Structure 1
């Protein structure tokens, strides 16, 4: 006998009533468990039998027993109710932000300095939400958001980019690093001409910091010709530590620079250049409750920022 035909007008209430009666072997007990009247339970079972065209229960004044058809239906119906209950409970956990999975992208520098403690605090609040961190070069982050490969990303606020919505979270400055052997004291304020007069260690062409440096240097008529070009901030710091030149890097790299005794650092202030860091998401995709929770957490825990900061190209 098979119950894989059309479900017709079967209802969960009917299945639940049948399973409860079959397991308790009593309409009275089933009515108590379901918080229904005995007549209501009897009606639900009769409706189920009528819909299937089968007798499921043999009733006497003293007992209730499953028929052959009822015995075959019972484990299937019980499993359906159990699986559905688990699915509903899981959905409620997702809706209540008790569990889930968030795909998050940021630059390697941010993933090592800004993000780990934030994730630690978030996990303490939401222990069953998994963060899948993509530490990837800044030039690739917007593509990951636009393609839907990540739910959220942290990066330099882009110019008007289709499909990517960006919300500023903080504003970073530019940090000038140079060998201590240059002898520049803390009171000296290097200019663009000072930068151009020394070997310059540049970040890659697709790096947002490189774009800002080249743009603002050109604004004052200075063209920087890199002595070396590197992909990562750590490499630029290492080059400076080796005495190969100076560099301009993101301000939040200060904790790394402090570990290099032969590298001096100071804010580069001739034009008060700022890097707006933004939380990015796809414009046309709905965030999961877990991703919404992480986005809310980032908004709450990042420093206040100046929303008037103009956009920069990534």
Structure 2
């Protein structure tokens, strides 16, 4: 038995239309070609599939029984073809992402490195931006998607929480707080802080928390990058509060990350930001899926 995909597609067209004329139109074939293909399929199967009259074609009991198997085979083959096409696309794709510098460094860098080991043909175009600039870049179509903590609806964009992270106080290894696994916000108010500019939603998250706590974090230094903040902490200029993915970088710098005791375990929500009605490339969609899965496995503390 050597049944072909073409035979199954013609069978399904004739089964659905009950007409050689309609089936021929649907399959872009002549009526005689449809009749010939169906006859070949019936020969392969060893039984008739249709009761034919001069005006109508009626599927018989064998056709009704055979129909779901034909549907399943065609669906499987189409799915396989899509998978192969996607794999081919992953050999030459491009992914554009906008995110804060600390997110690129602490969250995306290891994921991109791992992804490119498996798909070396995929190129990445990374835009290290503030949260506001990230949103603008997404809306302008300059990137496939952005990452940021969003606290309001954005016209023209779809946002979805990718993961939630805890906040940590980062100090020098010889700082009085370094020996503590957890510190309360009120204890943090006793020390000078390095602040990120408020164009980053990490800063907005912190400002909101301390306002609800009824405290103030003294700060005489404001910076725009993670490396500047960590460099100042290492120099002994103060303390910085960071989300967990960035606090893990601080440990690589020889700094100590202390969990903050009196806030919820998940206070900093990172969103995927996409332009409404946009369609991601296969490469971008695959990476975004992997990002969501990996981010969901982030440990509660660095």
Per the normalisation by structure 1, the TM-score is 0.60
Aligned residues: 214
**Map 1:100-115 → 2, pairs under 5 A:** 100-115=93-108
Aligned to 2:225: 232
Which of 154, 157, 165 is the equivalent residue of 2:158? 165
Aligned to 1:285: 278
Contact 2:185–2:260 at 8 Å: present in 1 too? no
Q: 1:220 to 1:255 in 2, by over 3 A?
A: closer
- Within the alignment, does 1:212 sit opposite 2:210 as a pair? no
Which of 228, 234, 246 is the equivalent residue of 2:239? 246
Contact 1:141–1:155 at 8 Å: present in 2 too? yes
Q: 1:226 to 1:281 in 2, by over 3 A?
A: same
- Gap runs ≥5 in structure 1: 1-91, 306-314
- Within the alignment, does 1:128 sit opposite 2:121 as a pair? yes
Aligned to 2:142: 149
Separation in structure 2 between the aligned mates of residue 145 and residue 167 of structure 1, nearest angstrom:
14
Write out per-residue CA displacement over residues 272-310 of structure 1, whole angstroms, 9 at most, x where no aligned residue. 2521122221113222333323323323443258xxxxx
Q: CA RMSD in A?
A: 2.7
Write out per-residue CA displacement over residues 177-219 of structure 1, whole angstroms, 9 at most, x where no aligned residue. 2234442364474333322222121111111111111111111
Separation in structure 2 between the aligned mates of residue 135 and residue 222 of structure 1, nearest angstrom:
31
Which of 261, 266, 269 is the equivalent residue of 2:258? 266
Contact 2:163–2:292 at 8 Å: present in 1 too? no
Matched residue SS, 2:236: coil
Separation in structure 2 between the aligned mates of residue 118 and residue 186 of structure 1, nearest angstrom:
31
Contact 1:97–1:126 at 8 Å: present in 2 too? no
**Map 1:34-49 → 2, pairs under 5 A:** none
Contact 1:158–1:166 at 8 Å: present in 2 too? no
Separation in structure 2 between the aligned mates of residue 94 and residue 251 of structure 1, nearest angstrom:
34
- Gap runs ≥5 in structure 2: 1-83
Aligned to 1:34: none
Write out per-residue CA displacement over residues 236-262 of structure 1, whole angstroms, 9 at most, x where no aligned residue. 12212222221211211233322444x
- Within the alignment, does 1:138 sit opposite 2:144 as a pair? no
| Structure whose CA Rg is larger | 1
Which of 51, 72, 89 is the equivalent residue of 1:97? 89
